[in-house]
Amino acid sequence: MSTLELREVVKHYTSEIETVKAVDGVSLTIGPGEFVALYGPSGSGKTTLLLLAAALARPDSGSVHFDGRALTEMSERESALYRRRDLGFVFQSFHLMPHTSALDNATIKLTGDGCTLREGRRRARPWIERVGLGARADHTPEQLSMGERQRIAIARALANEPRLLLADEPTGNLDSKRSREILALMRDICHERAIPGLLVTHDHDAVPLVDRVYALRDGHMADGMDPELVATSS
Amino acid sequence: MRRLLNPPIAGVRISMLAHLYGVRLRSHAVQELLAGSGIAVGVALVLGVLVANASLTGTAEQLVHELAGSARLELSARSQQGFDEALTERVRRLPGVAVAAPVLREDIAVIGPRSRQPVELLGVTPAILHLGSFGTGSLGLTSISFGDGLILPASVAEALGAEPNEHVTVLAFGRASAPALNAELKSSPFGALASSPVAVASLATAQRLTGLQGRVTQILITPEHGHETLVARELRALAQGRLDVVGAENELRLLAQAVKPNDQSTTLFAAISVMVGFLLALNAMLLTVPERRRFIADLRLQGYDWRQTAVLLAFQAVVLGLVASGAGIGLGILLSHVFLHRAPTYLTTAFPIANHEQLPLGTIALALGCGVLAVAFASLSPALDLHPGRATDAVFRDQSDGGEVLAPATVLKLAGACVLSLVVITVLVLAVPSLTIVGGTALALATLLVLPSAFAGVAQMLQWAGERVPSSSLIVVVSELRVVTIRTVALAGIAALAVYGSVAIGGARADLLRGLDASFHEYLETAQLWVTTGGNDLTTNSFQAGDSVASIARAPGVASVRVYQGGFLDVGSRRMWVIARPPGDQPTIPASQLLQGNLARATRLLRGGGWATISDGLAEERHLTVGAVLTLPTPSGSAHLRVAAITTNLGWPPGAVILSTADYRRYWETSAPSALEVTLRPGVSQERGRSAIARALAGRPGLAVHTLHERSLQYDANALQGLSALSEISTLLLIAAAVAVAAALSASIWQRRPRLASLKIQGYDSSQLWRALLLESAIVLGVGCAIGATTGIYGHALASRWLRLQTDFPAPFQIGVDRVLFTLVLLAAITLAVIAVPGLAAARTPARASVREGQI
Amino acid sequence: MTPLLSFANVSKHYHDGGRQIRVLDRISLDIDAGVSVGVLGTRRSGKSTLLRLAAGITLPDSGAIHFRGRDITRMTGRERGRLLRGEVAFVSTADWRAASGESVVDHVATSLGSEGLTMREARRRASRALEHVEIGAGDAEEPMSSLSPAERARVLLARALAHEPLLLIADEPALTPSPSERDAFYALLRESTSERKITLLMSSQEMGALQGTRILMSIASGEVVSTEARGTVVPLPRRFGAERPGQ
């Protein structure tokens, strides 16, 4: 079964002025079907943690494992393959292809992995329907609301049937009602497919919708819910 | 005081405007530099073209002005032999004449230690001072001493390697003499004279050097105030129809006629350059638009009202426009200096033209205006935010990424406009060939109009391919090119216009060269060896034959020697090329250049005397057809010849007349040859023949022997050189366009980095992204190039037709496939090579960039 | 006494993916001179729209907005621009973007350029305004881009105060600094406005930020409820209230 596991991960960024301890000894395990929220103020290392889980950054020490495989040991080609086949990623700013239909947007990872557009559309269509946009599959992002755009992005993240879902502030540009809908959708999908999901957010609406809450501050993990940290993070 | 120097405009101090611009410069130096370079390159192109043109006629104009001084009228000879100088006294005595100054003007060659220079000899008397010629009026000079030597402009003296008081060799009328070099003309006070290819001497010296004792070619006349008409009438009576009575600046009209085809083709190029330059600038500015809009919105939230913001925008546009255009003007001057400054040799044989740099203020103002206008136009987009109905901070809520989308309806409308303009252009140009230049410019616009629909078509094809071909790069490209944006069209437009210009002008140029080559070959092939004064393609300088004909005839291997005559003759506003063919010249009329008439019959009539062929231009001007009577103003009065045939202009823009030497001798009253045509005995090589004749002419250093082949080569070189400005501009245009397209494409790729980074998180690797970026660039370029090449070939056909019909140049249309391909490959190779690097860098953007805050 | 600012039946819509969303639905409210008003609302609840309308940055679809008795909706674009130059100042950290390399004092000074000051005069006034927000001469020469979010918020406050406005509108003026920094900033904001008798209209998603304002308003579903009407209880946004998890 799929499990994301970070062990004693340390990642520092050194600039001319100072060394930023983005992540400083964090351990975290997310099991199958678990949808976890990670809170923390700006600069607390949340984003770095996501990049580590996406095999886009290498820790200075510690290890990141997914499904028993060490992401830290992968070659560039292997890690690209990992992102393409195993990973679903949802961005705060959606990063949709402009002027491209919702359905075609959802095919991007499939075509990146050698599908024709036609084949990609066939595989992505159920996901567009799953996120409730079946009737608007031909609309372009410009014709859709913010909430609908994020739904396309979720369909896109899921179209390759990933075994891990990562989300970076997915509700940062949405109002409360849409936020809750989007978060519930992501949680349901993690449960249905029994895959781990990691959500980095500022959004308090997420608290009741996730299985567990972590808070990150200055690179350290505070297990469980810390009301003060959560309150200050928005 | 400080405040006075720093007045508020719409309530904002100039120092504040300057500071705000400084902020923009510091924060977006690269963008601003890119915009500035785009404008500078555009302005440089425009200026380079305009300056190259102005320099050509500018020196001749100045020279004519300076020589004429206050003279209003001119009595002018119709041949090199001139007329009796005693006429000067008779002119002086005419009522109403204030000043009359005789001048002897002849083409000579001066040989110094370093080189041989063709110059125009100006033999003058002190009377010239009363005209205030050569700027002497302003100097208040009352006497000038020429001694018995030559005065040469510093530029000529330097080229010759001659110092004052040294002796140089002068070749004139086939004679050699060695006068001393008296002085060099320094640039001021002698103005244009100092850089013109002339030599000044006293009239007596000039007559001695040329052997034209007692002769002059011109008398410059200043009539008393209000007596110009009277004096002109008197002069005409005096001339008895054997001399021309014209305005003192008549020569300028003749020159204008000669350079007209050149002028018009450079005008077309200038128009294309203006458009390319404008697009370069516009493109560069479009890239800065999103940033500018945000900057302005922030200021407006701080209380800058729309007028102040408009002032700020205008200030930035003017500063950027002026600075960039200024740089462009510098670059343009450099361009024209390095590439375009040589005067075409074919013109220097008939007019005193030199490589003098001219920077007319009007031209500079025009180039500056183009630059500032382009910037101002591109600034309009941020200015749209100033509309009172729009939220002040609309930009912060706007989610487009700056590439304004063209709606399908607009694309269709533009395509319709393109088809319509193509039809109008075709009908117009077919009906009125003189409007071809306008048509060519309109065709360039049509090229731009068709681009959006071309991209819409390409998007369809890409979509079709994407559905069937499993390619990760393709899908990224499909989504980028799915809609037609102004930015894409503007980018491809640069490539399209550059290719259009190069293909159209390059094609017409190749046609012209081929036509000229064929024409001239036929002109020269009447003899195996030519004896001339040398260095004159049109064989217009006559010389004293002396016993040279007999000595050549005696030389071993020579079968026959024939006397060829000819020169220039001013007919109306045309300085016509006169070709007088001796009996036995084969062919007398170049068959390939015949437009009307029967070759065999025309040849027979011409040899019989009383008949001539003329160029189409003159025929049209005078409404002459084959068989009609042609009246020519010759030294013996009006000659009445009948038109045997109508030809092209034989390569000389104002046109040519072919007649028999018998008629020439009769009407020009001279037997002086301008060439001796030699036919060798069978089996004698041209080389051997040439050395034999050279030996026979040992005593005549002023004469030169050339083989048919040598003269052909010389002519080709001169023709190429004459048209080189065009090919150089066209190459520069291509390179500038390639670099500009590459820069603009790179910048737009750079702006997309967050989205590229997001693709990485979705499993795309750098090489996939790089391939996609290159593919996209290649498609944008390819569409632009293909459209440009298509309309370019059409433009080429129109231009060749125009050359034939309007300028009478021989220019048979032929598509140069290899040339078109070369143009495309050159442009594409430079552009893709330049893009590859930033493309790679953009493809390597760390994925981190996509998880920072950004738009969509 | 005429209120400084009053909204009468103001409605505003915006478009989201082809659908019309009613952000403000016939809002009426009055704000007297010298008071401080806090507007509480969640993300995308319409509080920014309310504040932008008050500043004349955007116009309502219907209704009238009077500032000192003049109807903003009937002003010319130029007059509305002038409003932001003198009488009204607008602060928002969300939309603000630094031009890299510009120093703090220059950044504040350029915003004074619209009043016809020379750069030298503008710098002098900017330095004074910066001192009020406890940014000294040394820090004033630092580039804008080197500031922490909390420092940046103070600079933007100084920039607004330098115009000596009657009404300061602050739309979520301090995003995500730490709790202590945040409290210090809001205290500074309240003090500097009350000292100068500047009317303050500010918004936040957080209750804590609005503590100490005299009038509290809540905005949700296009409606505004204010504590100003006697006996009104402002309904807190959901997450401060008693809604149960999982709903």
Interface check for A92 against chain B (CB to CB < 8 A): the answer is yes
d(CA A203, CA B326): 54
Q: What integer pLDDT is reported at residue B413 of this predicted model?
A: 93
Strand C199-204 relative to strand C36-40: parallel, antiparallel, unpaired? parallel
Q: Quick check: C163 and B20 CB within 8 A?
A: no
Q: Tell me how far apart the alpha carbons of residues B495 and B827 are, in angstroms, rounded to a whole number.
A: 8
| Angle made by CA atoms B590, B814, B792, in degrees to the nearest 5 | 135
* Residue ranges, chain A, pLDDT below 50: 226-234
β pairing state of B215-216 and B169-172: unpaired
Chain C touching partners, 3 or more CB pairs below 8 A: A, B
pLDDT tens-place string over residues C121-149: 889 999 999 998 888 888 888 888 778 77
Within its chain, how far is the Cα of B337 from the centroid? 13
The nearest alpha carbon in chain C to A145 belongs to: C17
Alpha carbon of B290: minimum distance to chain A alpha carbons (Å): 17
Closest to B580 measured CA to CA, from B605, B613, B551: B613
Q: Do C182 and A175 touch (CB under 8 A)?
A: no
Closest alpha carbon to B36 in B286, B244, B395, B327: B327
Closest by Cβ to B847, choosing from A56, A99, A141 = A56
Residues B642-678: b if buried by 16+ CB within 10 A, e if exposed: ebbbbbbbbbbbbbbbbbbbbbbebbbebebbbbbbb
CB B198 within 8 A of CB B96: no
Task: Residue C47: name the closest of C193, C210, C199 by CA.
Answer: C210
- Ranges under pLDDT 70 in chain B: 1-4, 49, 52-60, 134-146, 183-195, 265-266, 268-269, 281, 339-359, 395-403, 722, 725-726, 851-856
Contact A95 B846 (CB under 8 A): no
Q: Which residue has the tokens 């040849």?
A: B603
Which two structure tokens, joined as six digits, stand for A189? Answer: 């999908």
What distance in Å separates the CA atoms of residue B657 and residue B575, rounded to the nearest whole number? 11
3-state SS, residue C28: strand
Structure confidence by residue, pLDDT tens digits, C66-106: 999 999 999 887 888 888 888 999 988 766 665 666 888 98
- Residue C245's CB: how many other CB atoms inside 10 A? 8
Residue A165 to residues A133, A159, A187, B575: CA-CA distances in angstroms? 20, 12, 10, 85
Question: Where do the domains of chain C lie, and which CATH numbers do they carry?
Answer: 5-98+165-229 (3.40.50.300)
Which pLDDT score, from 0 to 100, does residue B445 have? 87
> Which of A149, A174, A208 is the closest to C246 by Cβ?
A208
Nearest to B303 among C59, C95, C163 (CB): C163
Instruction: Kindly state the tokens that stand for B715.
Output: 């002519």
Query: How are beta strands C167-171 and B611-615 bridged, if at all?
Result: unpaired
Joined tokens for residue B320 = 């950027």
Q: Do B856 and A114 touch (CB under 8 A)?
A: no
Q: Residue B846: its pLDDT value, please? A: 79
C20, C221, C239: best to mutate for the A interface, most A CBs within 10 A: C239
A105-161 pLDDT tens trace: 999 888 888 888 889 999 999 999 988 889 999 998 888 888 899 899 999 999 989
CB contact under 8 A, C239 and A228: no
* Distances, alpha carbon B225 to alpha carbons A169, B73, B134, B512, in Å: 92, 13, 22, 48
Among B23, B299, B306, whose Cβ lies nearest the Cβ of C102? B23
Q: Which amino acid makes up residue C49? A: T
Amino acid type, C22: R
CB neighbourhood size of A42 (10 A) = 13
B336 and B181 in contact (C-beta within 8 Å)? no
Residue C239 confidence (pLDDT) above 50:
no
